[in-house]
Amino acid sequence: MAVTQIDSRLPGFRDLAPDARRGALGETVGLTAAQADQLAGDALPLATADGMIENVVGRFELPLGVATNFQVNGRDVLVPMAVEEPSVVAAASFMAKIARANGGFTAESTAPVMRGQIQLLGVTDLDVAEAALHAATDEIVSLANTTDQALLALGGGCIGIDVQRFADTAVGPMLVLHLLVDVRDAMGANTVNTKAELVAPLAERLTGCEARLRILSNLADKRLVTARVALDLDTLTTADLAGRAVAQGIVEACAFAEVDLYRAATHNKGIMNGIDPVVLATGNDWRAIEAGAHAWAACSGRYTALTRWRIESDDRLHGEITLPMAIGLVGGATRTHPAAQAALAVLKPATANELAEVIASVGLAQNMAALRALATEGIQRGHMALHARNIAIAAGATGEAVSTVAAALVAGGDISVDAARRLIDAG
């Protein structure tokens, strides 16, 4: 299905009131009135929420913003982000503006293949048991594909197996059969788990072992997405620093995260500041994405940065991120939560892979923003300027007074609730 090209820059968008922003967004991406209303909040009926999880007592809302300026693989895209932390949406939008002046982000992704694991215990001979599984690959795949005929019709299904062996564990030798399942536009947990349950008795018969856990892995290392950006150095110039100095600072900050565990944790948290809000807004499983990302960061045996930034021989700053992205367009909350469906209507991804490519690009943009801030003015200046609005609200400011008090807090250099209350009392 062809997607109408839009302009993701939305000039003057930030200066509008929320209702006007929503109207402008709906007009730009072609939302129906109902979809626009679903983005306003209170979109999830309590009865629906009660069916989604247990012991429901209500609903919890986060601010839903839209990151502008994004261009991924030549397509302009507006990105819904559900997040409470100040500066995230603004930072992503500003970095996307710099990126689009350099051709935007490029991204690519592998086939949406997930792993289902079947743990086999009581192994007497690892070699013999492993050989038996490999010899029966066709039988295992055929059995796995007797479930979910709809997935097969879409070109997905179990495509093969992998076997991992552990000679020495706390419970003795262990063999693990992996089912490799192409889940198409689903996240895939339900179908992978179902196939693992179905195949487990066959794995027992083939190996003479006992099957224990039958569960998907959230380390989706065969379902990877990579996003890249290349920037002319002069586009990074600030009022105080030349672009080359800013680029060098970004490279040096990244190098720190590549070698230091403590810095890598914060570096990658900043990346997830961009990724998680999009995953959440689209009704996907952000915990699965977090788990996969951090496991991938440690795949070498040492936890390290998810991104790489280098000034290459073309004298441009190149940034790249690769991580697992088990994201879906069908199933789960993507189909039951009205606001998630409205967010997808804004993004308009043709496939789950395309959504993954946008999400990875947002993560790279967020990382670029954090490293640029650290390399120039420091992370707190911009962050606290936006945080001042939260402080003003906490102190009791309402309406137009929020912006007035926030501006005064920033100007005075004391961004605290006490200072905000003094300003409010002074009128």
CA distances from 193 to 115, 171, 217, 239, 286 (A): 9, 23, 10, 54, 19
The pLDDT confidence band at residue 386, using thresholds 50, 70 and 90, is low
pLDDT tens, position by position, 261-275? 999 999 999 999 999
pLDDT digits over 4-31, tens only?
A: 789 999 999 999 999 999 999 999 999 9
Active site annotation includes 138: no
Catalytic one among 27, 139, 269, 418?
Answer: 269
348 classed as catalytic = no
Cα–Cα distance for residue pair 221/92, rounded to 1 Å = 26
- Count other Cβ atoms within 10 Å, centred on residue 406: 23
Catalytic residue among 267, 337, 348, 383: 383
- Helices then strands, each counted (H, E), the chain: 17, 10
Q: What is the mean pLDDT of residues 371-385?
A: 72
Strand (E) or helix (H) holding 279 = helix 261-281
> Of 85, 258, 320, 377, which one is the catalytic site residue?
85
The phi and psi torsions of 6 (rounded to 5 degrees) equal -120, 175
Assigned token pair, 250: 């970004």
pLDDT tens-digit series, residues 213-263: 999 999 999 999 999 999 999 999 998 899 999 999 999 999 999 999 999
Q: Is 285 a catalytic residue?
A: yes
CA quadruple 163, 203, 127, 120: dihedral, nearest 10: 80
Question: Is 314 a residue of the active site?
Answer: no
- Pick the catalytic residue: 148, 285, 354, 357? 285
